[in-house]
A and B are shown apart, each in its own frame.
Chain A
Amino acid sequence: MIYFDSTFWKQSGIFASIIVAVLVLVIYTGTFAQKKDPREAGIDRWAAEYSTDRYGGATPDSTIDLLATALEKGDLDLASKYFMPDKQMVMKSRFEEGKTHNTIDGFVSLLRGPKSGSEPFSGTYQFSIKVADDGIPFLIDLVKNPATNIWKVEEL
């Protein structure tokens, strides 16, 4: 026969109260979130686009490889996703222009060609591709998304 002393009942009561409180919190939190200023909710959604973005590689090289592969397959939508979210529409438009003028191959050749890279700051990376003798290279800047640890193309 198991006996429950008063301490047991006291501790159980506290535990049950915590469970109930947590449940209430979860329900109440959802309700509260829905009552937020809609502008703040919008900004949160906007921010979430960045913090959940997983299109990219674990290294700068792999991101460039993914980008080149997507372009070789003609998947312009996917190719544009390897860029920062605010640049994706612009890049898709540029890629479509390249498709119209049959210049995608030339761009892919650049990406696949020899290039030197450096990480001037932690979380930023730059590829420099020599294309002429005038000291003006083709540059590709990448930034690491600290939320997902993938590298995004920032500018090229």
Chain B
Amino acid sequence: MSSSSTKTSLYLCTAQLFSPRLRGSSDFKRILVIFFCAFLFSASPAFAYSDDTTHRGLTRDAVRLYRSSYSDAALSTSDEEALVKGAFEEDFDYRFMRHFYDPIHNSGLTYLSELNFGRPWSSSKEWAIGGDPENIDHTWPEAVRLYKSGEREKAMEVLGHILHLIEDATVPDHTRGDPHPPLLEFGSPFERFAKSFGPSEIGVGKQLGEKGVVPLVFSSIEEGFDSTASFSNRHFFSKDTIEDPAFTSPVIEYFSAKRTASGDEALFAMRSIPEYGASAVARVGRQYQFESGKLVRKYFLTVDDNSLMEQYWQVLSEYAVRSSAGVVRLFFEEVGEAPQRLVETQDERTILAEIQPFSVADTFPLVVKEEKVVLGEMSESFAARVRPLPGAPSIHLYDTETGDPLRQVFDLARESGVASMALSEGTPSSPLDESSGEEEVDMSTSTEASPARGPDDEASSDGPNEITFFAEGTTTVLSRAHSPYIVRAYLLVPSNAKVVLGAGTVLKFAPDAGLRVAGTLVASGTPSFPVVFSSIFDDTYGGDSNGDGVCGRDLEATCPTRGSWRHLYFEPGSTNSSLESSLIRFGGQFSPLGISYLASGIFVEGSSIRVQSCTLEGNGMYGLYLQGGSSEIRDTHIVSAAPPGDVTMAGIYAESDTSRVERVTVEGYQTGISTVFSHGIFSHNMVRGGVAAYISADGVGAIFEGNNATGTEANGIAIVGTALRAGEQGVLKRNEVPYATFRSAAIFETDSHLLIEPGVVWKIDGSRLILDGSLSVRGIEEAPVRISAISDDSDGNDFFGDGQKFPENLVGAQGLLLRTAAHTDISHARLSNFDPAIRYHGSPVDLDSVLFIHNGVAIAGEADGILRATNLTFVDNITDSVIDLSH
């Protein structure tokens, strides 16, 4: 047994010994408990943050930050020791079962509720505020009461209990209902890692103080719990809730390859945390899927090395210290002794308000100390929460340049505690209360039409506008007049936000930057004034935005290349997004580990968008990547612009989707359109050029109609591999180019059904069509279905585009293999240049009005097969049939 576990057991026993149940009991009884503990201690839990180390350390750091933030902070050494004692003791006596608070579902721990007589355990918030009758002595109201009655030391001890709960609220396991379970050395990797910090001061509070970071400000203890728990819940995973559908956050923004301590390269899932920057939140690994026998990608919180947990700790420990220090401040505010003066030698003015950029309490506040505030650093996209402190007068915000008033902040503190508002240029208006619903941030102040700027144009006189974030609950309007807008991060459009780009708007992205759309993105360009999404190096639109000269004119200028920025990513849950008359250029940045789908100009995952009359040019491996969803892509031009020899994948890739792709032209990609078990509709598209620019149909659940290809090495729609899975249905409609099965067989599994409509041409190179399902060939007299060897170009289609003419009577390729489970019904068809054209094994075959021409053997059947044939025609076959067709 580890020494820490032993200690924990002893602490537990000490708690039992001094618990209220035993107070006043005889010494004899106490001795009995000691003996009892000796039997018990092998099963002692290890709790959340270690009470022995981490909680004590964090509490000391919170005290340090509190003292360093306020010059009039009255917190003595004995106060600190009492706080630390309380924080240490809160885990005693199985209280830890109430140390969970899921702010999304407003619940405590539901695990092991059977031990609590079938009731969920109280949340830490309820536990702290006195909402659980089992906790009377260690609640917030009790701490306030004790202090006011002069029992300061006891009050500090009880407050220490509350700090313990606040600190636990920065542990994702505790805010996502993950019991982990807290036993022995098992459980949360984060808590296991954090255990090494403390019990003396950790240093977080000192560092924060030196940076001038002040404690968070809460208007109530309830808000303290809500705010703190929301932060850890939304930005971090716990081990067993990574794929829990009960939580929609955090959302992975991108991936980053790093070396672990062992020297291996590992892929980490990343997200940006406001004010803290990019943080790895999970390791990407593979999991064996027992249903399919395949290894699928999955996120893990692993034990690989410290790199992942270090990043968790860096952010969450700071937040724990800031929150705890904020709760100490709130406590003294409630007892009427709130500190007022920040520790500053030059400026000891009273804080009037704090301005926190959205979202919510994620960021460091801007401290306001005067009624007239000039926001020189404010960007146009700035939106914020303004929190006037009690007693503060009205705050007025002014633009640095013009001196014009911005929106006015009224003193709402006494009424609602919080005023939520948007700040923008323009006429002052009333602030919006948080409950008033969606607010709008209109960054467009001009409707004047002017074409997008070219390379010789200058950028707007006040320089490019940088966009750093899109606020939650807002509609942001970007305009041509303020273009170009510069994006330097992988920006999120939150799920409850909308971004509207007017005609002529230009968005330019730095390397690693892109847009991740959880909400709605609407780009409404026109043919004359398209909306442009491009690289910051692209001087063709929006001028020379990076100031290095014009590409193609100035030698020192950097020119854009494929993958100069990330992509437009529409993530699951994104709705109502559309791109009309827009240009998406030079996106699809290459993943360091070669994850190809990330290298796409537009990446749609589990959601749907509408793309109309757009041009995608020079984007990474894919132009448009559709994973699920029902997108509509029409009248769009996708061109790879890849230099000869560069690898590309597909202009459009569609998998497991039900999209409609119509009148799209794809040029220069390895594969024009690639579908994988798609059930979409692809009609009247054109594929040009490329190494082998055909339509690849892995699975023919999709419908292809009227598509064409030219100038490629394989002008057709390739059907290879598992064409229809068991139980699936497919329809082959007529196209300008043939379907083709080559280099690999096309397999139709049991209980699948394929219908081939009139006029369809299907060419097979000998790899065979293998049928275990049902095949209905429904040609008509005027438009028979042609199934032939690939050498047959008598239909006028030169599949390989090599101009080579094969002899008309060339035979040798195998055609249709109809296996025992198959059911085949062919009418008005032409089968040519095979050997054999049809081979069947014990399965029923109905042939009506079928022409067999230029085959070696036309029909090769087994004796146990059932062939029903009418109106067959045999022309120039070596052998018409190996079975007797006379009856």
| A106 in the interface (beta carbon within 8 A) | yes
Identity of the chain A residue whose Cβ is nearest the Cβ of B591 in the assembled complex:
A134
Query: SS class of chain A's interface: helix, strand, loop or mixed?
Result: mixed
Which residues between 72 and 95 of chain B lie within 8 Å of chain A, taking CB atoms?
94
- B735, chain A: closest CB distance, angstroms: 34
Q: Which of B1, B32, B43, B305 contacts A48 (CB 8 A)?
A: B43
Determine the chain A residues whose CB is within 8 A of the CB of B97 once the complex forms: 43
Let me know if B43 and A139 touch, CB within 8 A: no
Q: Could you say which of A40, A47, A132 has the most chain B C-beta atoms within 10 Å of its C-beta?
A: A47
| A46 in the interface (beta carbon within 8 A) | yes
With A47-B43, A120-B305, A134-B593 known as contacts, the answer to whether A146 contacts B185 (CB < 8 A) is yes
Determine the chain A residues whose CB is within 8 A of the CB of B2 once the complex forms: 146
Let me know if A29 and B35 touch, CB within 8 A: yes
Determine the chain B residues whose CB is within 8 A of the CB of A106 once the complex forms: 288, 293
- A36, chain B: closest CB distance, angstroms: 9
Let me know if B302 and A141 touch, CB within 8 A: yes
Let me know if A147 and B302 touch, CB within 8 A: no
Q: Can you list, as one digit per residue, whether each of B30-46 has a CB less than 8 Å from chain A (1) or not (0)? A: 01110110011011110
Determine the chain A residues whose CB is within 8 A of the CB of B186 once the complex forms: 50, 84, 143, 145, 152, 154
By size class, the interface of chain A is 35 or more
Let me know if A97 and B5 touch, CB within 8 A: no
| A20 in the interface (beta carbon within 8 A) | no
| B184 in the interface (beta carbon within 8 A) | yes
From B109-117, B511-519, B766-774, give the one contacting chain A.
B109-117
Let me know if B42 and A147 touch, CB within 8 A: yes
Let me know if A126 and B303 touch, CB within 8 A: yes
Identity of the chain B residue whose Cβ is nearest the Cβ of A98 in the assembled complex:
B290
Q: How far is the CA of A33 from the CA of B32 in the complex (A)?
A: 10
With A50-B183, A147-B42 known as contacts, the answer to whether A42 contacts B114 (CB < 8 A) is yes
Let me know if A126 and B302 touch, CB within 8 A: yes
Determine the chain B residues whose CB is within 8 A of the CB of A138 once the complex forms: 285-288, 295
Let me know if B297 and A136 touch, CB within 8 A: yes
Which residues between 175 and 208 of chain B lie within 8 Å of chain A, taking CB atoms?
179, 181, 183-186, 192
- A116, chain B: closest CB distance, angstroms: 8
Which residues between 718 and 770 of chain B lie within 8 Å of chain A, taking CB atoms?
none
Q: Can you list, as one digit per residue, whether each of A88-124 has a CB less than 8 Å from chain B (1) or not (0)? A: 0000001101100111101100100000101011011
| A32 in the interface (beta carbon within 8 A) | yes
Determine the chain B residues whose CB is within 8 A of the CB of A128 once the complex forms: 264, 304
| A144 in the interface (beta carbon within 8 A) | yes
- B98, chain A: closest CB distance, angstroms: 11
With A25-B35, A39-B94, A120-B305 known as contacts, the answer to whether A44 contacts B43 (CB < 8 A) is yes
Q: How far is the CA of A97 from the CA of B45 in the complex (A)?
A: 33
Which residues between 127 and 156 of chain A lie within 8 Å of chain B, taking CB atoms?
128, 131-139, 141, 143-147, 152, 154-156
Q: Which residues of B contact A (CB under 8 A)?
A: 1-2, 5, 31-33, 35-36, 39-40, 42-45, 94, 97, 112, 114-117, 179, 181, 183-186, 192, 239, 257, 261-262, 264-267, 283-288, 290-293, 295, 297, 300, 302-306, 593-595
Residue pairs across A and B with Cβ atoms less than 8 A apart, 29 shown, are A28-B32, A29-B35, A29-B36, A43-B112, A48-B42, A50-B183, A50-B186, A51-B42, A51-B184, A103-B293, A106-B293, A118-B262, A120-B306, A123-B185, A125-B303, A131-B286, A132-B286, A135-B267, A136-B286, A136-B297, A137-B286, A138-B285, A138-B287, A138-B288, A139-B283, A141-B303, A147-B1, A152-B186, A154-B186
